[in-house]
Amino acid sequence: MGVAQAERVLKSRWRTASLAAGWPFPGDWPSREVDDVVTAMVDTADPGDALVRLGRSRAEAGAGLGETLLDLAALHAVLDGACGVVAPNVDALPSRMLRLTALGWADVLTEEAADRGAEDPLTGLATRGYLRTRLAELYRGTPAPGDRYALVLVGLDLTRATGWSRVVAMTLLSDVLRVVFDGGETLATLGPSVAAVLTRRDASLAQRISTVRVLAADRLAVDPHVRPTGPADVWSEHLPATHGDACALLAALGR
């Protein structure tokens, strides 16, 4: 049996076992992440990254953790080589297989919880969820928004700071952004060490990016406890073609 055929057979048996076990979303079961897991299993490669992505994709599609793990148990039962009808058993899952998939699923829930508020309580900047909403409005009302708007990103190296110094550093950085971008732009936090500004592309953008870099260096230099977090990385990102791609970009930048 060739590799391609082996992958088709495994995917078909996995889907059949999962649906028989009660997978509630038949139309949503196939995905790129399913294909990645199948490929890893057939190639006998390490499926770790593929399992994490599978867990994430299931959570993003609205599947609960119990449903996700039952689907995974269906795969495990099929991989065990059982013929005919298989009986998925979550309790029989190898611990690594279960852990990686569950971690991927939980990552999405953690991100969604962080996105629910409109304002970050520590920095006073908007949350990533609010920025996503603002981008949705922009993409609906602006043809080719990447030609007129840009994301300015500012990041710190918080691995070299401890305790409250990390919070202080991001608070100082948020103050710099408010000084430089004071014309109604959307200022948001993307993660513990990255902030973003949604702003218009104009002749002053390059100068304002330079000003952020200089002011951030000045503010961080004042306190010896936060100084190691600098110098701040400041750069701009072109807005992707679609709102979905823009949201994916925010998630990647915030990690």
pLDDT number for residue 199: 94
Interior angle at CA 12, CA 10 and CA 15, nearest 5: 105
Give the domain-ending residue among 115, 146, 164. 115
pLDDT number for residue 155: 87
**177: CATH:** 3.30.70.270
pLDDT number for residue 163: 66
DSSP 3-state assignment of 192? Answer: coil
Residue 123 domain flag: no
The gap from C-alpha 166 to its chain's centroid, in whole angstroms, comes to 22
Residue 121 domain flag: no
Q: Are residues 101 and 160 in the same domain?
A: no
DSSP state of 163: T
The total of structural domains in the chain comes to 2
User: Sign of the CA dihedral 36, 37, 38, 41?
Assistant: positive
pLDDT number for residue 108: 81
pTM of the model: 0.54
Q: Are residues 76 and 148 in the same domain?
A: no
DSSP 54-78: HHHHHHHTT--HHHHHHHHHHHHHH
Question: The domain containing residue 248 runs over which residues?
Answer: 128-253
Q: Are residues 98 and 191 in the same domain?
A: no
Residue 65 CA to residue 51 CA, distance in Å, equals 14
Task: Extract the residue ranges of the chain whose pLDDT is less than 70.
Answer: 1, 81-85, 111-117, 160-165, 223-226, 228, 230, 255
